Amino acid sequence: MRVYSVAALLLAVAVPAGDLAAAEPLPQSRDPRLVIELFAADPDIVTPTGLDVDHAGRVFMIESNTHFPPEGYAGHPSDRLLVLRDQDGDGRAEKPVVFADGFVHAMSVAVRTSFDPGRPDTVLIATRKDVTALWDDDGDLVADRRRRILHLETPGNYPHNGLAGFAFDAHGHMYIGLGENLGAKYQLIGSDSTTLSGGGEGGNIYRCRLDGSQLQRFATGFWNPHANCVDAFGRLFSVDNDPDSLPPCRLMHIVAGGDYGYRFRNGRKGFHPFTSWNGEIPGTLPMLAGTGEAPSGIVAYESDGLPGEYVGNLLATSWGDHRIDRFRLVERGASFESVAEVLIQGGGNFRPVGLATAPDGSLFCTDWVLRDYKVHGRGRVWRIRRKSNGGDRPVVDVATVTAKTTVDQLVQLVGSPRLVLRRAAARALAGTVAGRQRMRQLISDRRISTRTRVEVLWAMARVDPRVEDFGFLRPGAKRPRLAGGSTEVEIALIQLVGSPQFPFDVAKRNFLEDEQVAATLWVPDPLDLPGATRGHRARWATAAMRLLSLEQAIGFLEPDDPFLMAAVLARTRQDDVTGPKLLKAVRGALGAAARDARRQQTIRLLLVLSLLRQFNTPELTRQMLSDGQVDPVARRLVVQWVAESGQKTFRPEIAAILNDPKITADLFHTTLAALDMLDGGDPRKIDNTAPSDLALPLLKDGQRPSAVRSLALQLVDPSSKALDRRLFEDLLASDDPRLISESVRTLGLSSHGFAPLLLLGVAGDRKRPLEVRADAVAGLGRSTGTAGVLASLRKWTKDPQEVLRREALRSLRTALTADSDSQALVSAMVDRLKPVEQPTAADRDLADRLATALVIAGRDLQPELTRIAGERPGDLDDWERRLAGGGSVAAGRRLFFHNAGPQCGRCHMVNGRGRRVGPDLSLIARSRNRRQLLESILFPSREVAPQFTSWTLVTVDGRVLNGVIVYENRDRLTIEDADGKQTNLANTEVEMRTPRKKSLMPEKLIDRLAITELRDLLSFLETLK
């Protein structure tokens, strides 16, 4: 085996100041154990994109010269593939060698090691329209041969939304991404003439053999899956390069057949109801985490150059945020979740793109340097390494690991932290009789690491049974048994079942009850069984799905696990879904889940998703569309299917949904979009069409059900000029309670000058329902500066009706800072409570509400008031006991939107009301119980959905802004803070931005709530399903 010195690769050097622009901040590692050093820079290299590092530590890097060249560009006329080497050990690359030239819009490169001394390595390069294989036959680092193995036929020509992002698994597959291609039609052609076509569906990830044959679409629903990687367990991950108006960009766990929701044909911004960005639509899959802006490179770290805890982490570059992030995977059902942790942070001129692992475990990344999309003559390559490597540690050249290496050496290498060494050693062991005997021992030894056993198992699977049959899944004492205690080894074996070394006839054997399967998988460890943990059960079931009967597959289904749903859905589609088997299996599963309403709803959704692609019975379609008893989520899926499949014959049934008095908000929005699509509307225009344009005609149609008109009113900006006083007066004069209520609530959120006058009239009208009057009093909290409002509110604090007294006191909170009459009123209320020695529940509640009002106003609390209010709970369990049951849903809804409450509506939307700064809570009770809702209020930063990560922006003029990025494109972004204030910035104004670990929700939100108010709020949230 050939080895070379780590010192020759990792020798640290100082960066001459002249090599960098004056005063340009150098990127820094947030991990003090790591250092980032300059390896190469302009003028030797310019505007680099992808890179890879070969087995000898040579950096293969794409130099882009065709990505929007400016007029008069003096650089090279085409993209080049360069090789960078540090031959003298000074830590800097010498002048690059041109390996190949003549490319246009080149994005990605990968070097595949040849383990045959007589054959050169294969170098793959992806341009926008081609994947080309290159070979250096004479070893002079200049390509002698090239062959195109994939070709994209399309009129699309945008430089970086075509082919990009190589990844490779252990079974001889290559993966590559294709961006949204601006919706242009295309044909992707493999080396064996396999042709796949499309256009407008969004980006895709494809899989083929290493020579470009057997091409297939692997997953869909992306914007631009620009970089991909496969981890040690064969799991594919991708970064989606741009969310347009739906930040953040996405880090995704990719599964076969997965649909990740984005549809370019529905508009770039992603606001269309038929587009899903984070699994919002059943049947689509969510992101694993949000990333920084414009992620362009990703690595699944499997080496030993960085500290050991980095093994298994994902590392991704962020071109737009000047950083490299670290993601630690946390199991969530059949998939994972994570949060970005900044590993490397640079200044405005650090633009990392490609990322690759070197043989010594260090990392190399390319740096575009400037924010200008046009090629500009700058460029750098950086190396990230550990500060101290513990001496001159030899690094094995993986190209020298062959079947000629001794078995003992191979056994040692198969335990290496380096994935490439493990894989090469395992395959070399499989090449000899003695090696295969040792593999039998390794796979059965539970002391051996999971990563090693997985590689050994995969290598054993590659052996032709005619050479040696290991006897897996066959009876007999010589059959290998997996060592217990490893979910990943079990899953790896399950995925191999049915291959030559793992023969299994599904038609004749029951996988879950098969003795040979059981003996191979989980003997002798009885605890290592499917279902040992929820995540274990879900991932195990997902891997086994193709081997299960329909009844068994559906039996594994769990609510709120979209990846498990996708796996079960794929299994149901293996059979004739219109036949009796599926309906029989569903009926059985529904019976088994008779006491679990959420599981039953999940099973029914599965049935609808299974049938959608093969609905061939118009009667069934009409029934699903017309039956108001059908689950609204299922009905919504059918509406979308009808519209997307262009079945105009069902337009009357869809239009009739807008006459359904039980219509939900999601179904309402989907129906509007479906009608527009069936009528020939361009779905891309919905991104730019104000909702009021679609909703106002429905609102003004007096023949529509109040539910429809109310939902239409919710879509209109409360301060819209289209909502004039006359319209509100007509709505308030109607005899429909729901429409009146929605009108009052809209007025309460409006900035129209006439709004407080109308609200005063409603609140003072004793003929109105009490709850409507209470809504009006709550809405007046926004208008305490209007003449007559404060006096009326003070009067209503003494009203005989408790609900009015409570709402009036709450609406007065914001006036307590300056209005002396309101201050005197509250002081008098406090004074009346002071003498109480044995307070009643009503006394304690009033004291708590008064204390809350004073805290919000920033005024001092008197000890007597605190005594009467009583001590607040200390932890989550105490709070849960204190708030168990009860509460007013109506009061909780008012509190949600109240100007003087927790102001939930400033960030969250419920049924069309509020803002999209935080998660839409319209269906929150489907996935959160009362305790979980309470926990999110008490500890808002404990779990933050990735797309709602808050950020700290530092501008070039020194401002520090905290908030959620609600809009971003190439040139500008908008950040919104917790008070609803939006700041629009040019991207050039942002010097640095970092994700915050804390939610934008205030940590002491509980201080703005009386205990009964919190109970009311929870009661309201529990109804949102």
Q: pLDDT-based confidence at 1002, cuts 50/70/90?
A: low
> Strands across the sheet with 59-63, in order?
48-53, 59-63, 79-84, 97-103
Q: Which residue from 222, 223, 268, 261 is spatially nearest to 245, judged by alpha carbons?
A: 268
Question: Among 422, 432, 417, which Cα is nearest to 457's?
Answer: 422
pLDDT, residue 527, reads 39
- Cα–Cα distance measured from residue 462 to residue 439, given in angstroms and rounded to the nearest whole number: 13
Does the pLDDT of residue 134 top 90, yes or no?
yes
Query: Does the pLDDT value for residue 19 go beyond 70?
Result: no
Spatial contact of 358 and 329, defined as CB atoms under 8 Å apart? no
Which of 2.120.10.30, 3.90.950.10, 1.10.443.10, 3.40.50.970 would CATH assign to domain 3-386?
2.120.10.30
Query: DSSP secondary-structure letter at 91?
Result: S
Which percentage of the chain shows pLDDT scores above 90? Answer: 61
Confirm if 621 and 634 have CB atoms less than 8 A apart: no
| Range with lowest mean pLDDT among 320-324, 635-639, 800-804, 924-928 | 924-928
- pLDDT at residue 245 above 90? no
425, exposed or middle or buried, with CB in 10 Å at 0-12, 13-18, 19+?
Answer: buried
CB-side exposure of 196: number of CA atoms within 13 Å? 20
Using the predicted structure, report yes or no on whether residue 644 has a pLDDT greater than 60.
yes
Confidence band (pLDDT; 50, 70, 90) for 4? very low
Q: Which of 422-426, 875-879, 932-936 has the highest mean pLDDT?
A: 422-426
Count of C-beta atoms within a 10 Å radius of residue 251: 25
CB 553 within 8 A of CB 579: no
Going by pLDDT thresholds of 50, 70 and 90, the confidence category of residue 528 is very low
Out of 374-383, 402-411, 615-624, which region has the weakest mean confidence (pLDDT)? 615-624
Average pLDDT over residues 501-522: 84
- Amino acid 483: pLDDT: 61
Judge whether residue 415 has pLDDT over 90: yes
Pair 314, 300: CB distance under 8 Å: yes
The pLDDT value given to residue 685: 81
- Does 779 have pLDDT greater than 60? yes
Higher-pLDDT residue of 985 and 383 is 383
Please identify which residue in the block is written with the tokens 């009860």.
886
Q: Which of 53, 147, 52, 163 is nearest to 104 (CA)?
A: 163
pLDDT (tens digit per residue) in 579-610: 688 889 999 999 999 999 999 999 999 999 98
* pLDDT at residue 231 tops 70: yes
3-class SS string, 147-165? EEEEEEECCCCCCCCCEEE
Compute how many other C-beta atoms are within 10 angstroms of the C-beta atom of residue 271.
Answer: 18
pLDDT in tens, 942-957: 655 545 677 888 898 8
Nearest 5°: phi and psi at 124?
Answer: -110, 135
Give the model confidence (pLDDT) of 203-225 as tens digits. Answer: 999 999 999 999 999 999 999 99
Euclidean distance between CA atoms 885 and 258, whole angstroms: 40
Gap between the Cα atoms of 645 and 459, Å rounded: 45
- Identify the band that residue 2 occupies on the pLDDT scale cut at 50, 70 and 90: very low
Q: Tell me the C-alpha distance between 301 and 34, whole Å.
A: 15
The yes-or-no verdict on residue 526 having pLDDT over 50 is: no
**Eight-class DSSP state of 706:** H
Q: Is the pLDDT of residue 16 over 50?
A: no
Q: Output 81 or 15, whichever has higher pLDDT.
A: 81
H helices within 334-449, ranges in order? 407-413, 419-429, 433-443
Whether residue 865 has pLDDT greater than 80: yes
Range(s) of the chain covered by CATH 1.25.10:
400-628
- Which residues, including other chains, have CB under 8 Å from residue 449's CB and lie 6 or more apart? 415
Average the pLDDT over 646-662 and give the result.
93
Answer yes or no: is pLDDT of 983 > 60.
yes
* d(C-alpha 134, C-alpha 144), whole Å: 7
Q: Helix or strand or coil: residue 401?
A: coil
**Ordered DSSP codes for 626-660:** H-TTS-HHHHHHHHHHHHHTT-GGGHHHHHHGGG-
333 contacts 352 by C-beta, under 8 angstroms:
no
pTM across the whole model: 0.82
Distance between CA atoms of 215 and 211, rounded to whole angstroms?
A: 10
Q: What are the pLDDT digits (tens) for 463-485?
A: 999 999 998 887 765 667 776 65
Structure-token pair, residue 678: 């069936």
Query: Which residues, including other chains, have CB under 8 Å from residue 875's CB and lie 6 or more apart?
Result: none
Judging by DSSP bridges, how do beta strands 289-291 and 145-153 pair with one another? Answer: unpaired
Rounded to an integer, what distance in angstroms lies between the CA atom of residue 668 and that of residue 676?
13
SS (H, E, C) 36-80: EEEEEECCCCCCEEEEEECCCCCEEEEECCCCCCCCCCCCCCCEE
In this prediction, residues 499-517 reach a mean pLDDT of 88
Among 419-428, 713-722, 738-747, 973-982, where is mean pLDDT lowest? 973-982
The torsion defined by the Cα of 659, 660, 663 and 668, in degrees rounded to 10, comes to -30
Is the torsion defined by CA of 765, 769, 770, 774 positive or negative?
Answer: negative
Q: Respond yes or no on whether the N-terminal peptide bond of residue 1002 is cis (omega within 30° of 0).
A: no
> What is the predicted pLDDT for the residue at 375?
96
Kindly tell me if the per-residue pLDDT of 178 is higher than 80. yes
The answer to whether 539 and 491 have CB atoms below 8 angstroms apart is yes
- Average pLDDT estimate for 401-427: 95
Residue 663, classified by CB atoms within 10 Å of its CB into exposed (0-12), middle (13-18) or buried (19+), is buried
* Residue 391: predicted pLDDT: 55
Strand ranges, E, within 195-255:
195-198, 203-209, 216-222, 225-230, 236-240, 249-254
Closest residue by Cα to residue 46 from 338, 316, 366 = 366
Q: Which CATH architecture has domain 400-628?
A: Alpha Horseshoe (1.25)
**Residue 131 C-alpha from the chain's centroid:** 28
**pLDDT of the residue at 14:** 33
For 291-302, what is the mean pLDDT?
94
Which pLDDT value is given to residue 558? Answer: 92
Residue ranges of the alpha helices (H) in 975-1025?
1011-1021
Q: Which pLDDT score, from 0 to 100, does residue 387 have?
A: 92
Helix axes 1011-1021, 889-897, angle to 10 degrees: 100
